[in-house]
Chain A
Amino acid sequence: MAKQTRKTPAKSPSKATSTTKKAPSRSRAKKVVPEGTFPTSLELNVTFDTYPAGKFTHKDLGLSIDDVLSMYRNMLLQRRFEERAAQMYGKQKIAGFLHLYIGQEAISTGTSTAIKIGLDSIITAYRDHGHGLALGMTANECMAEMFGKVGGCSRGKGGSMHFFSKEKGLFGGHGIVGSHVPVGVGIAFAHKYKEDGGVSIAFYGDGAAGQGSVHEAANLASLYELPSILVVENNHYAMGTAVHRAFAETEFTHHAVGYKMKAALVDGMDVFSVCKAMQDHVALARENKPSMLEIRTYRYRGHSMSDPQKYRTKEELESKKNEDPIIRLKAYILEHKMTSVKALDAIDEDVKDEVLASVEFAENSPVPDLSEIYEHIYDESDYPYLA
C-alpha cells in the first residue's frame, strides 16, 4: 500500500531531547501532571494509508462478478435518477433545493458494498440521494419524496435534503452543514452501548470540515473509542469556495491527527478504492477504533440547481469527466470480460425504466392530506398545538 508521510520539523535544534508522538494511547487511566522534564522540542511523525485509483481489483475485495455488476447497476441508478430529477426540477415537479451527487456515486456504492446494510448506520448531509439509493431505498420512494408526495420516504415532509430510512439504516439527509456529524457519532455510541456490532459512518463535505461540530464529534469519537468513521467527501468546492480558499490545512487526513485517529486518503473516482478503504476501516470500527477518511471526488453538476459555476473552468470540469467512476467501472467490466456490451446496455435500459417508473409513481402518489401537517412532530397524536 502506498504511504504518505508527513513530518513536522522539530522546532528545536536539540534533537536528543525531542519526543516523538507515538501511536494513540487508548488508556483512560487517570493521569496526573506528567512526570519528568519539560520537553525542549516535539516531533510529529504520522503516516497515512492511501487508496489510489486502479490499485485494487474486485478479487482483492472479495467481490464476485455478480457483485461488480450489481455495483455498476447501483451507480448507474443514482446517475440516471438524478439526471431525471434535474429534468423534473426544470419542469417544477421538484422544488426547493436540489443538490446532485453526480460524479460522486463511487463513494455511496463503494460504502454500501462494504457494510452490513440493516445493521450498520449511515448519516450524511443534504446531497443524500446517492447514499439512499445505494442502501437500497427504492427510486419510487425517493422520487416521490422530492415530488412532495405521501409515497415519499419521509411522507413528503423532508424533500430532497431529508431522505431517511430506518429500515436501511439511513439516519438522514441533513441540511445544516456539519450539524449531523455529532449525531453520527451518537449513533456509533448507541451501537457500542447496545453491543450490537454495528458501526456508524458519517459523511460530510469538505465545506463541513470547517465546522466546530465536526471537530467536536471527531474528538468524542476518539475519546470514547466509538465504532465510528468520519468521511470527508472532498469534492473540492464548498458551494463556490475552493478548498484552498477555506482551509489553512487542505489535507483533511491531517485533521485526524489532532484527535489521535487513524486516517486515510482515498480516490473516490474508483469504486474499488472506496470499497477497500471502507472494508478496512469498517473492520477497525468494529473493534471500536474510529477513523477518518478523506475521499477525493468531483461533482459534475453545480452545488445546487441555481449555481452558475463561475468558480471553476470548463476545462477543469471536462478533464474530470475523464475520471468518471461509472465509465471507469464499465471499462473494468469489459476489460475483465465479466459480461458483454449488450448486457451492460440492457442494465442501462433496465435502470432507465426503473427511473421512469419512479417518476410515474411520484406523479400518481397523492399529496399529503392537510391534516398531515400536525402529524409526526410529537409521539402523541393528541398533542395540543396552537391552531
Chain B
Amino acid sequence: MAVLQYREALRAAMTEEMERDSSVFLMGEEVAEYNGAYKVSEGMLEKFGPKRIIDTPISESGFCGLGVGAAMAGLRPIIEFMTFNFSFVAIDQLINNAAKIRYMSGGQFNIPIVFRGANGAAGQLAATHNTSTESIYATIPGLKVIAPSNPDDAKGLLKSAIRDNNPVIFLESEVMFGWKGEVSDAVDYLIPIGKARIAREGTDVTIVAHSKSHYIAMEVADQLALEGYSAEVIDPRTIRPFDIDTVIESIKKTNRCVIIDESNPFASISSEITYQIQERAFDYLDAPVLRITSKDVPAPYAKNLIEYYMPQAKDAYDACKRVMYVK
C-alpha cells in the first residue's frame, strides 16, 4: 500500500488509464501548463504532451460540448471543472447532451466521458463557490454520479469511471485534495461503480455519509463508541446508481438511520435515501430516519456563518442519540 494524497490518487488513476488507452485525454482550465489549478494533473503535460493534456479558455459550455462530441466520435474525454460550481454554465451540455443523446439516438451513440472536479463547500468562498451538486446531477437518468471520500476509493473509482461507457459526474473536493490515505498497489485497481463501502461495522445505528461528510460520521461513531454505542458507518461512494441494498441490510440490523449530507436539504440525496428506506425497510425502523445537512440557505461568507452553515458533528451525534432514544 502506498500513501497518497487524494489528488495524487486521482492523478495516478488518470495516468494509468491514459497509458492503457490512447483514446483517453484530459481537457480543462489550467490542466496543462499551469499543472492544474489544484495540482491534480501536475506533470501530466510533460508526460503525455499537448495533444492529450489540453488547456482550454474559460468556456465551460464550449469545452464540455466538445467533450460530448469527441465521446460520440469514439474518444474517452476526461473534462476537468476547476470546481463544479462552474459546471452550471455548461449544465445544458451535461443534462441535455451527455445524458440524453444515447437515449434519443436509440442507443446508437455511447458517451464515454468523465466530468470531474471539486464539489461542495470549501470554506469562506461565499454563495456561488460552495455548491454541492450531487442531487442536481443524480436526478438525471443517463448520468452516473460518484463522490469518493478517500484516496483509495478516488483511484479505484476514477479508473472505473474512465472505462465506463456512460457519462460520469465525478465529484471531488478542494478540502480533501491534500488529504492522505493508503491506496492499493494492485495492478488495474478498479472499484465497481454503484457499490457502497461499510467503513465501520456496528449494531445500534446506521450512519450514511459520503464525501467529506463521511469523516463527520466516523467522528460521531468514535464518540458514540466511547459511550458504549456501536454505529455502523456506510460510505455510499457512488450516488447514482445508489447502493440501497447495503443500507437496507444495515438497517435490518440496527433499525435506525441517520444521514449526513452537506448538500442543501430540499430535494437532496438525503431526501431520496430516506424515501427509499421507508419504502423498503419501514417495518424494520424503530425511529424516524433523521438527516443532518447544510442549512437551507446560500452559503455565507462570514467565518462563523459558514461554519454554522455546514453539517455539524454535534448535530449528527444528537441525531444518533435521538434515534436510539438515549440521552
CA distance A385 to B142 in the complex (A): 10
Instruction: Determine the distance from Cα of A175 to Cα of B25 in the docked complex, in whole angstroms.
Output: 28
Whether B105 lies near A158 (C-beta < 8 A) is yes
CB contact under 8 A between A189 and B104, given known A219-B59, A220-B59: no
- The contact string, 1 if C-beta is below 8 Å from chain A, for chain B 75-111, is 1010000000000000011001100011111111110
A125 to B64, CA, bound (A): 18
Cα A207 to Cα B89 with chains together (Å): 20
List, in ascending order, chain B residues with CB within 8 A of A213's CB.
Answer: 61-62, 65, 92-93
Given contacts A179-B97, A190-B69, A191-B73, contact A216 B61 (CB under 8 A): yes
Chain A residues whose CB sits within 8 angstroms of the CB of B142 once the complex forms: 377-378
Task: Tell whether B224 is near chain A: CB-to-CB under 8 Å.
Answer: no
- Cβ-defined contact, A185 with B25, below 8 A: no
Q: Are A164 and B109 in contact (CB under 8 A)?
A: yes
A200: chain B residues at CB < 8 Å are: 69
Interface 9-mer from A101-109, A148-156, A236-244: A148-156
- Contact at B106–A179, with CB atoms within 8 Å? no
Inside 8 A of B165's CB, which chain A residues have their CB?
A: 379
Interface of B is mostly: mixed
Q: Does B241 contact A (CB under 8 A)?
A: yes
Pairwise interchain contact A189-B70, C-beta atoms closer than 8 A = yes
Nearest chain A CB to B24 CB, angstrom units? 11
Q: Does B57 contact A (CB under 8 A)?
A: yes
Q: Are B65 and A181 in contact (CB under 8 A)?
A: yes
Check if A187 sits within 8 Å of B70, measured CB to CB: yes
Q: Which parts of B100-141 form the interface with A (CB within 8 Å)?
A: 101-110, 141
Cβ contact of B108, chosen from A166, A185, A191, A380, cutoff 8 A: A166
Query: Smallest Cβ distance from A327 to chain B, in angstroms?
Result: 35
Q: How far is the CA of A369 from the CA of B207 in the complex (A)?
A: 41
**What B residues does A337 contact at CB under 8 A?**
none
Contact among B106, B110, B144 for A152, CB-based, below 8 A: B106
B68: interface (CB < 8 Å)? yes
Whether, in the assembled complex, B327 has its beta carbon less than 8 Å from a beta carbon of chain A, the answer is: no
B96 contacts A179, C-beta separation under 8 Å: yes
Closest to B66 in A: A186
Residues on B with beta carbons closer than 8 Å to the beta carbon of A187: 69-70, 72-73
Please report the C-alpha to C-alpha distance between residue A123 and residue B69 in the assembled complex, in whole angstroms: 10
Across the interface, do A162 and B104 meet the contact criterion of CB distance under 8 Å?
A: yes
- Whether, in the assembled complex, B150 has its beta carbon less than 8 Å from a beta carbon of chain A, the answer is no
Q: Which residues of A contact B51 (CB under 8 A)?
A: 193
A157-B103 contact given A213-B92, A216-B59, A220-B57, CB 8 Å threshold: yes
Contact A182 B75 (CB under 8 A): no
B264 at the A interface (CB under 8 A): no
B300 interface contact, C-beta 8 A: no
Q: Does residue B177 face the partner (Cβ distance < 8 Å to A)? A: no
Chain B positions within 8 Å of A220 at CB level? 56-57, 59, 62-63, 66
Quote the shortest CB–CB distance from A315 to chain B (angstroms). Answer: 39
Contact check: which of A174, A217, A376 meets B103 at CB < 8 Å?
A: A376
Please, which residues of chain A bring their CB within 8 A of the CB of B102?
Answer: 376-379
Contact of B57 among A176, A219, A385 (CB under 8 A): A219
Chain A residue numbers with a CB within 8 Å of B61 are 182, 212-213, 216
The answer on a CB contact under 8 Å between A194 and B109 is no
CA–CA, A223 and B164, complex, Å:
29
Contacts of B230 in A (CB 8 A): none
Query: Could you tell me if A183 and B69 are in contact, using CB atoms closer than 8 angstroms?
Result: yes
**Which of A156, A224, A379 is packed against the most chain B CB atoms within 10 Å?**
A379
Given contact pairs A172-B104, A223-B57, A383 touches B241 in the complex (Cβ within 8 A)? yes
- Contacts A220-B63, A376-B106; is A176 near B96 (CB within 8 Å)? yes
Q: How far is the CB of A272 from chain B (nearest CB, A)?
A: 30
> Contact at B69–A182, with CB atoms within 8 Å?
yes
Q: In the docked arrangement, what's the CA distance between A158 and B96, Å?
A: 13
Smallest CB-CB separation from A171: which chain B residue?
B72
Question: For residue B25, which residues in chain A have a CB less than 8 angstroms away from its CB?
Answer: 193
Q: Is A375 an interface residue (CB 8 A)?
A: yes
Bound CA span A164–B104, Å: 8
Does A384 sit at the interface, judged by CB under 8 A? yes
B154 CB, nearest partner CB in chain A, Å? 22
Q: How far is the CA of A383 from the CA of B241 in the complex (A)?
A: 8
Contact A189-B66, Cβ < 8 Å, known A155-B107, A220-B56, A376-B107: yes
**Can you add 15 more A-B contacts, CB < 8 Å, to A184-B69, A189-B66, A217-B65?**
A154-B105, A154-B106, A164-B104, A164-B105, A166-B108, A171-B109, A175-B96, A179-B96, A194-B74, A220-B62, A223-B57, A377-B102, A377-B103, A379-B102, A385-B141
Q: What are 23 A-B pairs at a CB distance below 8 A?
A: A152-B106, A155-B107, A157-B104, A162-B104, A166-B108, A171-B72, A179-B93, A182-B64, A182-B65, A183-B65, A185-B69, A186-B67, A186-B72, A187-B69, A190-B72, A190-B75, A213-B92, A217-B66, A224-B54, A377-B141, A379-B110, A379-B165, A383-B241
